[in-house]
Every structure is written in structure tokens, then in C-alpha cells.
Structure 1
Amino acid sequence: MPVSWKSWASLLHISLLLCATGVVSEEVQLEPLNSTVLEGSEVRFNATVVGTWQIMTWTVQEFLVLTLSKTGDITPSSEQFSARFCSSDNSCVEFTIHNVTRSQSGSVTCTVQGNFGPKTAQLYVQESGAVSIVGGNMTVNQDQQVEFQCVTTAWFPVPTVSWTRNGAAVNSSLYNTTSVADGDSFNSTSILQFQAVSDTTVTCLATVPTLPNPQSSSVFLQVVPKPPDWTVLIAVVVSFGSAGLLAFLIIGIILCYKRRKEQKPNYQDDMRRVRSQSQLSGVNAASRKRGEDNTAYVPEDQTSVAPSDVIDRGFFQMPDIVNITHTGTGSSSTDNIGDESGFKKHRHVTIV
């Protein structure tokens, strides 16, 4: 059946509209355009081709790593790279990099021969290093200030470091973390300080966004009860002892003062003592004035004495001499006077 020129015109119009809307245009759609993975893992990119194609190539950092055809022929540069069709019409290709390394970070480009043009995605590879707590397990006294140091090495990018105590997260204000570059990786040091109260399991954790579970290192802190502090008791005993000693001293001073005050004579006591002494002096003076009997005294008119009286009275014969002796401001004299009977009277005179 012949087709009129009007039908051809309509078909041409429809074709132009389809081209204008891009339905029959040739292009490549690449997903994802940015991918961040952990070193050693796998990364996948999907390329969907709109239009008819025959050959597709993949490059990593401008190095050709894989070639495939629509018929299913796949030629990788190494076992690290692979590809497969992800649609029944072979319009979708999945490209995989196995065991990705840090050196492969950068551009990943898919190119389809023809008028499709290349499509490029960016690959970012992170690296997890080592983490350890310096010094290992610790044993300290209760209430002692303790310090733990956690060291991370060979991480990219800078890891996020955190701490836990008995599984509970530690407030970030209790520890300090610093990082320094070491070639193409980073090393970090984190210091945690707190007061030891009881036995504790201390854990240091380090991670990067692509790491499924943080790397960790744990140590055990054993807390020994601190010995009794006798300082307070000694201070109390010394205080009470000092107070008691001071009290005894004050009491002793008061008692001594009272005793001295009681022993100190007052005016009435002095007068009473003087009166008593005066009375005693009067009695002694009277006795002195009365004198004692002189058994050897012989009256002047007596001319003879019995021998017994001489013996009893203590008479004795004296030579007929008179001795007078002066000494100092006073003088002493001894008079011996004889009478007819041959007896001598003996007198002593003291002149002052």
C-alpha cells in the first residue's frame, strides 16, 4: 500500500521530536559519581548505556583496567577488576574493584565507543590503622589520679578517638586528642585522666566513617583501698591533749596563787604575831631579871664555910691576884680579894 507524502512528513516530524527530547540520543549514565570505601574492601560502579553500543572500557586514574563488548567478552588487566551485565538487554554494566587500595583513590572513568562520551566518578579510599593503650593494665590506690595514653598509627583520614569506662562512653571533656601527619597517613595520641574509685575496664576506640566497627584497645584498672589516714585522728588527739594540758596548767597556776595568797600574812596576823612575841619577851625578861641561885655565893659577914658546903657550893681557892682585862670597846675584870680566913671571894665584872 503506497504511503502518501503526508505520512512521510508525519514520520519525519515524530523523529525530530524524539531526537529533541533525547529518547533516541546516545549517552552513558554512571552511578555513583562519588564513592568512599575502606581500603581492602570492594567498590562497584554501574554504567547504563542509552543507545546501541559495541565496546566499553574502564580506566582507574587514567590506567586502562578492563575492556568488554556487548556480546559478553570481558578482558581485565588483573584479577582485581571484574565486570558483569546487570540487565537482560546488556545495556547495564557493573564494574567492580576488589581489594581496593589507597593508591587507587581518584578518578574512575567509563568510556563507550561511539558518540557517547566518557563519564567519570571519584573514588575515595580510607585506611584503618592500629590502636593501643600504652602501659597495659594498672594497679593504683583508691582516689589516686590516673592517666591513660592511647596511640593510633597509620590512619587515613584522621581517626575519631573516643573512650569508654566499663562500656559507658566518657565525656570528651575528660580527654585530649592530638594528631600529626606521617607521610600519607596520620598518627594520633589521646590522653584520658580521671580519679580511680573502683575497678574499671578502660577502652580506647578509633574509627573512620567507612569502618563498620571501631578499632579498640582495652586495659584493666585495679583499685586497691587506700590505707587509713591517721592524720585527722592525730590532729584531734593533739588538739585535745593540748587543750587538756593548757587547762591543767591554768588550774595549777590558780591553785598556786590561792595557796600563796592564803600563806601571805595580813595586818591582823602580823599584829597578833607581834603581840605574842612581846608577851614571850616579857616573860623571858622577867626570868632574866630574877636570875638563878648562885650556890657558891658567900655573904661578906660569913667567915667560915664547912667543907661540905665548899664542895656542895662549888667553892674553890683562888690565888690572891687581881686580873683586869680590857677587850675591844668593852672591858672585863676579875677581882680576887682575900680575907682573914684565907678564903677568897671571886667576882666577875663585865663592862660594855
Structure 2
Amino acid sequence: MAGLGQVQLSPPSLAVLHGAQARFNCSTAAPWVVMSWFLNDRAVITVSAKHGTLSNSVSFTVTNRTTTRSTVWELVIWNVTRNHTGDVTCDFQNIGRQTATLSVQVAGTVVIDGGNVTGRKGGRVRFRCQASDWYPAPTLTWALAVNQEVNNYTTSHAAAPDGLFRSTSTLDVLAVVDTWVQCQASVPALPAPKTHRVFLTVGPGGDDQTVLIAVVVSVLTIPLLVLLIIALICCCVNERKSRRTEDTRGNGRCGEVATDRAGQGQNNLGYSWNENTGVAPSEPRSDRGPPISAGAHQAPVSSGQGVYPGDFRTIRHATTV
């Protein structure tokens, strides 16, 4: 039997994505009769130097790539699945064999929870990245648009019953300037990581927010003061109008009373009719005073001469001391 060095298998290890193709090349410079391919110690295809391919299938094919210097056979595994993961062996009968490793991987989804975020300037904003349905567990990393070191994040992995992994990574970002934040998930079979990007918008900080609130309050206070002044002016005007209306009504009533008094004339409050003499004395008699002498008469107390019906004599009262 020739030494193992006479059989070459490349690549020694291969990682491909689910659904892709896996290709291996096996070669020897020694004369050969039969060669076989094995997957996890199970023969999948056999080739005869005299008769060619002795067995074939839809999932496994071989192609002769022999050169003038060596015999080369290429094995192609089509539409690989995770069941194809394992050892791939090339065996040249009576010459030697070599084994390579095949890893079939699954690239799932990656997303940053919550989408775009607005953060307070100077504060910290937390981002959470979810990578679902990966095999094997993906490597999660972060990237920022600004030149800021990204190392303050944690990552955890959990396997589902079907063998796929769900990974979570949490990142804290210091809100300094507007930037994009990108989560990256990768496995060796991916030519480039899968990414998801969101944007961080930096809003006013604590001091800036206080100033903004003060400005807003000031702007809102001025219209309120103007409205209050207008309301006070309107109240004063309405009150003056109400007073003028009441004064006008009061003057009207006073005029009516004066007119009524002018039409009635003046009343003599001292008038009293004397049935015996037919004379109306101007003031009532006092029981305390001395008797009035005969023939004396008292003039009625009034602002003018009193005129009484039935008697046109002037009556005067004299008091003896």
C-alpha cells in the first residue's frame, strides 16, 4: 500500500450555508483501480478507473478533473442540509485515504429591538440585538458611525429544541452626537455578516432642557398676560357702561318726581279745619300753654299766606307772658 502522503484531499475543512453546494477534490499521482467517497463513514459514491462511476445519486455527484500529473476527482454535495455535517472521506483502494470536515451552517435573522431611538445628550442609551434561528451560535458585534470604541456590550446564547440558536446582545451607547448603530451577526460560512442598523438622535441634555422649558414658559406667558389685560379692560368698560345706564335711569325717575310735585303745589302741614269757627289754625293748640286771649288770631305758619276755604280773615295768636 502506498503511503498516505500519496492521497490529497482539499479543502481539509469546509463550512457552507444551508442549501448551498459543498465541493471537495481528491487526488493521487499513483496508479489506481477504485476510489470511493464516504460521508460519516457511509459510502455515497464509487468510481472505477476502468468503468467510471459505479453509483450516483441526486445529492452526490463526481466530476473527473484529472491532469497530466495526477488523477483528480471532485465530489459535489448538492443542496446541503445540517444532516450532511460531519466527516467527508476520500479513499483510493490500496493507495490511501484522507478525511475532511464539512460544516453546514444556518444564517438566521438579526434585528435591533425598538428601531430608531432619541436619547438625552450626555446620557446612555441601551440597544438590544436579537439573532434568531442560527447554527451554530452566531458571533454578534456592534459598529457605530462615529469613532467610538464599542466594547461595553454583553452577549448570550440559547439553543432551541431543533438545535438552532437564539442569541441576544445588549449595548450601551453614550449619546454625544447623532449616529447610526449597527448590529452584526456572522458565522464562518457567511461571506459577510448580516447586519441591522438603526439611528440614534441626540436630544437636549438636562441643562439644555431646563433652558428650553424656561423659553417655552416665557413665550406662553406673554400671550396669557395680554389676554388677561384685555379681559380686565373689557370688564372695566362693561362696568362703566352699566353705571351710566343706572345713572340715566335714576335721573329719569327724579325728573318724574319733580314734575309731580310741581303740579301739586305746596302743602301746609299746619292746616287743620275748625268746625266751630270755620277757621283753620296754623299750629295745634298746646294744653300746657296759657289760654289765647279773645280776639287774638294766629297767622298760619307757612312760607306764604295761607288761604282757607270759607274764611278769608287773617288769624294771629298772641301769647301773654
Instruction: Tell me the TM-score range normalised by the shorter chain.
Output: 0.5 to 0.7
Q: Counterpart of 1:100?
A: 80
Alignment match, 2:155: 177
Paired residues in the alignment total 208
Shift of 1:43: 3.1
* Match among 119, 126, 144 for residue 147 of structure 1: 126
Residue in structure 2 matched with residue 214 of structure 1 by the alignment:
193
Moved over 4 A (4+): 25-28
Cα separation, partners in 2 of 1:42 and 1:170, compared to 1, 3 Å = farther
Contact 1:65 1:81 in 2 (8 A): no
Aligned to 2:14: 36
2:222 match? none
What TM-score do you get using the length of structure 2 for normalisation?
0.56
Deviations 1:26-84 (CA, angstroms, capped at 9, x unpaired): 98513237313122443332222344323322121233322223257334211453322
Counterpart selection for 1:229 from 210, 214, 219: 210
> Are 1:133 and 1:219, in contact at CA under 8 Å, matched by a contact in 2?
yes
The residue that corresponds to 2:278 in the other structure is: none
Structure 2 counterpart SS, 1:103: helix
> Structure 2: how far apart are the matches of 1:88 and 1:71?
18
1:240-274 per-position Cα deviation (integer Å, ceiling 9, x unaligned): xxxxxxxxxxxxxxxxxxxxxxxxxxxxxxxxxxx
Q: Please state if 1:68 is matched with 2:47.
A: yes
| 2: CA distance, partners of 1:190 / 1:175 | 7
Q: Distance in 1 between matches of 2:89 and 2:128?
A: 44
CA contact (8 A) 2:16 2:22 kept: no
Normalized per residue, which structure has more helix?
1
Relative distance call for 1:63 and 1:187 in structure 2 (3 A) is same
- Matching residue's letter, 1:46: N
TM-score normalised by the chain length of structure 1: 0.51
Q: List aligned pairs for 1:101-140, cutoff 5 A.
A: 101-113=81-93, 115-140=94-119
Residue 52 of structure 1 pairs with residue 31 of structure 2: yes
Q: Deviations over 1:80-124 (max 9, x none)?
A: 5332223247622222223432211112122334x3354433323
Q: Could you say if the C-alpha distance between residues 228 and 107 of structure 1 is closer, same or farther in structure 2, counting changes exceeding 3 Å?
A: closer
Give the CA deviation at 1:152.
1.0
Matched, 1:192 2:177: no
Query: What is the Cα-based RMSD across aligned positions, in Å?
Result: 3.1
Quick check: 1:45–1:96 contact (8 Å CA) kept in 2? yes
Q: 1:219 and 1:89, CA in 2 relative to 1: closer, same or farther beyond 3 A?
A: same
Residue 287 of structure 2 corresponds to which residue in structure 1?
Answer: none
Q: Distance in 1 between matches of 2:160 and 2:147?
A: 32
1:168 and 1:32, CA in 2 relative to 1: closer, same or farther beyond 3 A?
Answer: farther
Contact 1:143 1:196 (C-alpha < 8 Å) held by counterparts: yes
| Counterpart position of 1:241 | none
1:192 Cα offset (Å): 0.9
Unaligned 5+ runs, structure 1: 1-18, 234-352
In 1, the alpha carbon distance for the partners of 2:172 and 2:10 equals 44
Structure number with higher relative contact order (C-alpha < 8 Å, ≥ 6 residues apart): 2
Are positions 1:78 and 2:26 aligned together? no
Structure 1 position 163, deviation (Å): 0.9
Aligned residue type for 2:200:
L
Shift of 1:149: 0.2
Q: How does 1:163-312 map to 2 (within 5 A)?
A: 163-166=142-145, 168=147, 170-172=149-151, 174-183=152-161, 184-226=163-205, 227-229=208-210
Give the structure with higher Rg (CA). Answer: 1
Distance 1:73 1:167 in 2: 60
**What's the offset of the Cα at 1:189?**
0.8
Rounded to whole Å, the distance in 2 between the matches of 1:168 and 1:71 is: 64
Do the aligned residues in 2 keep the contact of 1:36 with 1:126 (CA within 8 Å)?
no
For the residue of structure 1 that corresponds to 2:210, the secondary structure is: coil
| Partner SS for 2:197 | strand
Match of 1:328 in 2: none
Q: Where does the alignment leave 5 or more consecutive residues of structure 2 unmatched?
A: 215-321
Greater fraction of residues in strand: 1
In the TM superposition, residue 230 of structure 1 has moved relative to its aligned partner by: 5.5
Query: Cα–Cα, structure 1 residues 169 and 108, in superposed 2: closer, same or farther, change >3 Å?
Result: farther
